[in-house]
Amino acid sequence: MNDINSFLSRLNSTINFSTILPEIILIVGLITIVITDLVNKGKNAIFLYKIFLISTLVSMGILFYQLISVIAFEDLYTNNIFNNLFRFFILICSFISVLLSVDYVLCSKISLAEFPLFKISAGLGGMILSCATDLITIYVSLEFLALSSCFLSGYTKRDIRSNEASMKFLLMSGASSSSLLYGFSLLYGFSDGQVQLDNIIDKISFSQYLPIICISAAFILAGTAFKLSLFPFHQWTPDVYEGV
């Protein structure tokens, strides 16, 4: 409990909101999409895509400025040129994928509001993950990205293959998350309750706990390989891609 309280107090004292302004813009866009869809009751869905595109473009503009002037978020969230390039790349991929998917979503006559909503959520999780420097932020942002991708895989609800893909994605994501979390818990326990990656390296004794570190690395590697569908943890991927 003391570690969590110190983490929250450190978070409040070190936040530089200009650093996470692109993520804030995406969150505002996400909330705007939800409220607009509730008010219009599913009508004028193209306007929701315009909200997504505008929020994404504004975030990309802010990130482009941050590529020129790098600012720091101290311990919990690192912001540098390398991280900003990944965040910029994620935004570009989200922007292009939505542009290419609008006609398909309109022709398939499925719900339009959830698609930009899940795309913003996935992009937001990926952007935070690319800058995370502690175990809590890494795990939460990774799960945010994975769950949003899982919901997108089951977006065409009337298609039985899409339902199967979403179910397999959810089950495999849960299995990989448990493996990943167990590996994190070993690092947390044997580093005297540290969640910051730099502090874990400083606190943990590699000579004394080398077998534990190897076991933790194996679980983390397995969990990551499941989520990235790397060999030999890729058997579930073709079914999910087929359903999507």
Q: 131-166 pLDDT, tens per residue? A: 888 888 888 888 888 888 888 877 777 777 777 778
pLDDT for 5: 57
Residue 139 lies in a domain: no
pLDDT for 64: 80
Residue 81 lies in a domain: yes
> Which pLDDT band, with edges at 50, 70 and 90, does 16 fall under?
low
- State whether 165 and 123 are in the same domain: no
Residue 144 lies in a domain: no
* Cα torsion through 174, 141, 126, 99, rounded to 10: 70
- State whether 81 and 197 are in the same domain: no
- State whether 112 and 10 are in the same domain: yes
- State whether 3 and 119 are in the same domain: yes
pLDDT value at 15 more than 80: no
Which residue range is the domain that position 217 belongs to?
155-244
Residue 143 lies in a domain: no
From residue 235, alpha-carbon distances to 159, 231, 239 in Å are 22, 8, 8
Q: Based on the structure, what is the number of domains in the chain? A: 2
- State whether 1 and 73 are in the same domain: yes
Query: How far is Cα 47 from Cα 199, in angstroms, rounded to an integer?
Result: 46
- State whether 164 and 129 are in the same domain: no
Residue 146 lies in a domain: no
- Both tokens of 137, joined, read 């932020």
Q: 68-71 contacts: CB < 8 A, separation 24 or more? A: 71/16, 71/18, 71/19
Residue 3 lies in a domain: yes
Listed residue (65, 60, 71, 68) closest to 23, CA to CA = 60
- State whether 78 and 168 are in the same domain: no
pLDDT for 6: 60
pLDDT for 4: 53
Sole residue written with tokens 């570190």:
213
pLDDT for 75: 46
Residue 147 lies in a domain: no
Find the mean pLDDT for residues 63-74: 63
- Both tokens of 223, joined, read 């969990």
Residue 148 lies in a domain: no
